[in-house]
Amino acid sequence: MTLRVYNTLTRTKEEFVPRKPGRIDIYQCGVTPYDYTHIGHARQYVFWDTVRRYLEYRGWEVFCVQNVTDVDDKIIAKAGTQGVEPEEITEKYHRDFLDVMDKLGVERPDEMPKVTQHIPEIIKLIKGLVEKGYAYESEGDVFFDVKSFPGYGKLSGRSLDDMMSGARIEINTKKRSAMDFALWKSAKPGEPSWDSPWGAGRPGWHIECSALALKYLGSGFDMHGGGDELVFPHHENEIAQSEAYTGEGPFARYFVHHAMLNIDDVKMSKSLGNFFSVRDVLEEFESGVIRYFFASRHYRSPANYGVDELEAASKAYMRLRSTLDAGRRALAKADKVEPREVMASGINLGSAAEEAERKFIEGMDDDFNTAVGIASLHDLVRVINDFLHATSGTAGQNKEDLEDLHQAVSVLETLGGILGLFQEDDEAVEDTGFVEGLVSLLIEVRDDLRIKKEWSLADKIRDSLKDIGIILEDTSTGTVWKRM
């Protein structure tokens, strides 16, 4: 099986061939830290974390770079209104970003370069573009001359003429052509600035990604990620700057764009007042629920977001979790009893585990279809549940059954782990052991009460457990329990 990836450059799903065998270099446009990280941003980072985990699972070495845009109009404006230095703003919100990403189980990138720490690299790139005739200085600003780069428009599939007719043409007498964009902006009073061959100023937004990607990954790296709203102009401009500078292409082999997150069908945007910070969402839902919510939708489909969607994700995720817990409990229990000859369950859990893994890989190889991945987990969970029910009295003491259960639980953990699920488990496992002990004790007490025909007390135990979400089932071989 080979991995196929939808490449915006060609508008087709292509077979993925890395630049170097065995290694995949990824760049994604990172955050502009001027506010709390919102759930719409999280879609991107969660998706790329899943991609990374999957590629590593398939045996590739993965190297990820993600920039931090720590100089920007929005940062400067916010620092101005609060009367603080811009760094205070960027540090505060970048910390929030790292914190909530850690909580979502998003692995940190290998490099997270900040723009303000790479001004010399950016100036060098702009200088090179000016020398090669792709850029020009005008009253302290430097612009990229889009007409000088023949491939301009190849990512967004638009010709320069189309862009010109569709654009709101701003009057800027400094520019040669309306579509030209700023590489360097001359300093305005009170704003952060750096010395350059064109006087004091700061870099434009697009140039930073070219400079940082070329520095950390070099020309022709594997995947470039970002939201589909960045196709034009941001990524179009990155390509023009980078390929004009290096004199070779492609800048990136595969451009992989995710769709926006909508809130109640309205395009998510802060200006519409429907901002939800990841921090707030994590107060209500555990990280696995949020990861489940994202994974259950294909990254290129716009997804609707709301409390209803999260609650549905929570219910579905808990079905996976409670089966995983029950499977672990059954394994722990089997460890404690002497093996003896018992009939096999007749349920082929081993082949169900293999089938789930096959389906998962097939889905993920088809342009990272995480929704198919989720479906394969539910398929496996259904068979594990049947198995646990059938073997509840024997604690999996049949040797083959026990091996199958080990395999199925491990496959569920591994595949779920690729999607970022079950990461809250360290704590949950301890909890599980504790809950297991308490519930077993209550079941024993209830059995004693039933022997003594103390029915109302026995029922009270069963009903009270049900109230807190624990269901007791009396089977021919004893009482078993599960979470609702």
Question: To the nearest whole angstrom, how small is the minimum distance from the Cβ of residue 29 to Zn ion?
Answer: 3
Beta-bridge partner residues of 224: 27, 255
Question: To the nearest whole angstrom, how small is the minimum distance from the Cβ of residue 203 to Zn ion?
Answer: 12
Give the position of tokens 């083959």.
400
Name which of 29 and 383 has its Cβ closer to Zn ion.
Answer: 29
Question: To the nearest whole angstrom, how small is the minimum distance from the Cβ of residue 317 to Zn ion?
Answer: 32
Question: To the nearest whole angstrom, how small is the minimum distance from the Cβ of residue 209 to Zn ion?
Answer: 3
Q: In this structure, what token pair is assigned to residue 276?
A: 């939800």
CA dihedral 172, 178, 181, 187 (to 10 degrees): 0
Beta-bridge partner residues of 445: none
Name which of 29 and 402 has its Cβ closer to Zn ion.
Answer: 29
Name which of 182 and 419 has its Cβ closer to Zn ion.
Answer: 182
Name which of 212 and 326 has its Cβ closer to Zn ion.
Answer: 212
List Cβ neighbours of 20 (8 Å cut-off, separation of 6 or more).
none
Helices 370-390 and 399-418: crossing angle in degrees, nearest 10, is: 150
Helices 399-418 and 349-365: crossing angle in degrees, nearest 10, is: 20
Question: To the nearest whole angstrom, how small is the minimum distance from the Cβ of residue 48 to Zn ion?
Answer: 13
Q: Under the rule (CB under 5 A), what is the footprint of Zn ion?
A: 29, 209
Residue 286 vs residues 55, 172, 283, 309, 341: alpha-carbon distances, Å = 25, 50, 8, 14, 42
Name which of 180 and 238 has its Cβ closer to Zn ion.
Answer: 238
Q: Residue 391 in contact with residue 334, Cβ under 8 Å?
A: no
Question: To the nearest whole angstrom, how small is the minimum distance from the Cβ of residue 137 to Zn ion?
Answer: 23
Name which of 251 and 299 has its Cβ closer to Zn ion.
Answer: 251
Question: To the nearest whole angstrom, how small is the minimum distance from the Cβ of residue 238 to Zn ion?
Answer: 6
* 277 three-class SS: strand
Q: Residue 329 in contact with residue 285, Cβ under 8 Å?
A: no
State the DSSP code for 60: -
Question: To the nearest whole angstrom, how small is the minimum distance from the Cβ of residue 155 to Zn ion?
Answer: 12
Name which of 130 and 207 has its Cβ closer to Zn ion.
Answer: 207
Name which of 116 and 345 has its Cβ closer to Zn ion.
Answer: 116
In terms of C-beta density within 10 A (0-12 exposed, 13-18 middle, 19 or more buried), how is residue 371 classed?
middle
Distance of CA 442 to the CA centre of its chain: 41
Q: In this structure, what token pair is assigned to residue 166?
A: 């569709």
Question: To the nearest whole angstrom, how small is the minimum distance from the Cβ of residue 217 to Zn ion?
Answer: 13
Name which of 209 and 334 has its Cβ closer to Zn ion.
Answer: 209
Query: Exposed e or buried b for every residue in 44-80, given b needs 16+ CB within 10 A?
Result: bbbbbbbbbbbbeeeebebbbbbbbbbbbeebbebbe
d(CA 223, CA 254): 5
Q: In this structure, what token pair is assigned to residue 356?
A: 């789930």
Question: To the nearest whole angstrom, how small is the minimum distance from the Cβ of residue 33 to Zn ion?
Answer: 15
d(CA 372, CA 170): 46
Name which of 68 and 443 has its Cβ closer to Zn ion.
Answer: 68
d(CA 379, CA 466): 26
